[in-house]
Amino acid sequence: MQKVYFDHNATTAIDKKVLSVMMPFLEAQQGNPTSQHSFGRHARTAIEEAREQVALAIHAHPTEVVFTSGGTEANNMIVHGAAIKNPQSTLVRSNIEHPCVARPMEALTHQGWYQELLKVNHDGVITKEAYQSITADNISLVSVMLANNETGVIQEISDLSDFAKEKKAISHTDAVQAFGKMDVRFDELQIDAMTLSSHKIYGPQGVGALILNKRSDIEPLIYGGGQEKNLRSGTENIAAIIGFGKACELISESLKESSMRSRELQTTLEAHLKTLGAVIFSEKAKRLSNTTFFAFKDIEGSTLLTALDKQGFAIASGSACSSVNKEPSHVLLAMGIDEDLARGALRISFGNQNTINDVTSFIETLKKELQTLKQLTAIAA
């Protein structure tokens, strides 16, 4: 049976070129990067070279790159780090943020901090009016994701930057889904902090980064030996960091071509989906070229997902990190989408290996599975 992977927003397969630069650091004895002997110096040099690769890919300075275990840790780091510097302040986020931003903020509300939400419109976009609705003055952090992991909607980060500067707050964007799918430039975004993750760009799992400018002062999330400028203690995962650096280098080289290819796949897919009666969420908004979030009225998403998986097509029902939650997508509910329709939501996210043939094969299979499900529904009724 043909196996087609359409879930690249969840994770990507590690690139062979990435694996090749990691292997020497997995197979041979490596020194601790804090050690002063030749083994340690070699490890430290490799880490700093990777730091430069990450910085170059997003137009930041290497000193602004803080390596973490992934996007979740980086997001927790900025939320807790900014909050602890300003006790009893207000944390501001959009109501469609990933759980690794939303949940630490919610946890802090039980410890003396406050939270206000930027509400999205029906297309999943944060408007200027949403920022104007925030009433708090003592704000420590404003966090808005650059591109949503479910709908693919791209937010206007200049609005975030302007608002945070006005409130004298740290501005942060979770760019985990955006990086590698669109041109992300830390210097041009005019924000204080940004989160990246390696396994979304064909790098290894278990490594990411918080990009933090020199003006921002936050408390560490993890204390210990003082690694990563005292912000993230713990012996560095050398091989993973090196792989992350190489993945950043490769994704920068292929960005334009991959974006054009995924846009072609997206356009073809959505044209066929609409002929089948699908609702495409955030269709009118500016979106990532690789992401399509859709549903069919009166068709349970989980049932259709399982049927398609049996036919060899791996797709998603929303965010991979919160898929254990059987409730409808919090992103769609925040957009005002009917709960029954939201339960049917499915996401396709293309990657570098997907082809037009994959899309056409998927559509043919989808037609058959929809027909079967509709017949079963009619019989049950």
Under the phi-then-psi rule, with left for phi > 0, alpha for psi from -120 to 50, and beta for the rest, what region is 215? alpha
Quick one: pLDDT at residue 181?
Answer: 97
pLDDT exceeds cutoff 60 at 206: yes
Quick one: pLDDT at residue 381?
Answer: 52
Of 61-75, 226-240, 342-356, 365-379, the least confident: 365-379
Among this protein's residues, is 321 annotated catalytic? yes
Residues 159 and 25 in one domain: yes
Domain range spanning residue 316? 4-11+255-380
**What rounded mean pLDDT belongs to the chain?**
95
- Given 224, 250, 276, the domain boundary residue is 250
Q: What angle do CA 188, 193, 198 make, to 5 degrees?
A: 95
Residues 25 and 104 in one domain: yes
Quick one: pLDDT at residue 2?
Answer: 83
Quick one: pLDDT at residue 378?
Answer: 61
Residues 180 and 315 in one domain: no
pLDDT band for position 30 (cuts 50, 70, 90): confident
Q: What is the pLDDT of residues 295-351, one digit of tens each?
A: 999 999 999 999 999 999 999 986 555 445 568 999 999 999 999 999 999 999 999
Quick one: pLDDT at residue 325?
Answer: 56
Residues 217 and 260 in one domain: no
Q: What angle do CA 117, 285, 136 make, to 5 degrees?
A: 15
Strand partners, 210: 66, 195
Quick one: pLDDT at residue 114?
Answer: 98
Residues 218 and 323 in one domain: no
Residues 270 and 316 in one domain: yes
Q: Which of 19, 279, 314, 321 is catalytic?
A: 321
Q: How far is it, in rounded angstroms, from Cα 324 to Cα 34?
A: 39
Q: What is the pLDDT of residues 123-179, one digit of tens each?
A: 999 999 999 999 999 999 999 999 999 999 999 999 999 999 999 999 999 999 999
pLDDT exceeds cutoff 60 at 112: yes
pLDDT band for position 380 (cuts 50, 70, 90): low
pLDDT band for position 374 (cuts 50, 70, 90): confident
Residues 231 and 300 in one domain: no
Residues 127 and 88 in one domain: yes
CATH number at residue 82: 3.40.640.10
Q: What is the pLDDT of residues 277-291, one digit of tens each?
A: 999 999 999 999 999
- Given 231, 250, 269, the domain boundary residue is 250
- Given 215, 250, 285, the domain boundary residue is 250
Quick one: pLDDT at residue 45?
Answer: 97
Quick one: pLDDT at residue 327?
Answer: 83
- 30-41 as b/e, with b when 16 or more CB fall inside 10 Å? bbebeeeeeeee
CATH number at residue 370: 3.90.1150.10
- Kindly give, in sequence order, each residue whose CB lies less than 8 Å from that of residue 44, ignoring residues fewer than 6 positions away: 33, 34
Residues 120 and 134 in one domain: yes
Distances (CA, A) of 228 to 48, 62, 145, 193: 11, 11, 24, 15
Of residues 169 and 380, more confidence is placed in 169
Q: In percent, how much of the chain has pLDDT > 90?
A: 93
DSSP secondary structure code for residue 76 in this structure: H
Residues 43 and 149 in one domain: yes
Q: What is the number of structural domains in the chain?
A: 2
Residues 306 and 207 in one domain: no
Q: What is the pLDDT of residues 183-192, one digit of tens each?
A: 999 999 999 9
Residues 224 and 261 in one domain: no
**Burial class of 185 by CB neighbour count within 10 A (0 to 12, 13 to 18, 19+):** exposed
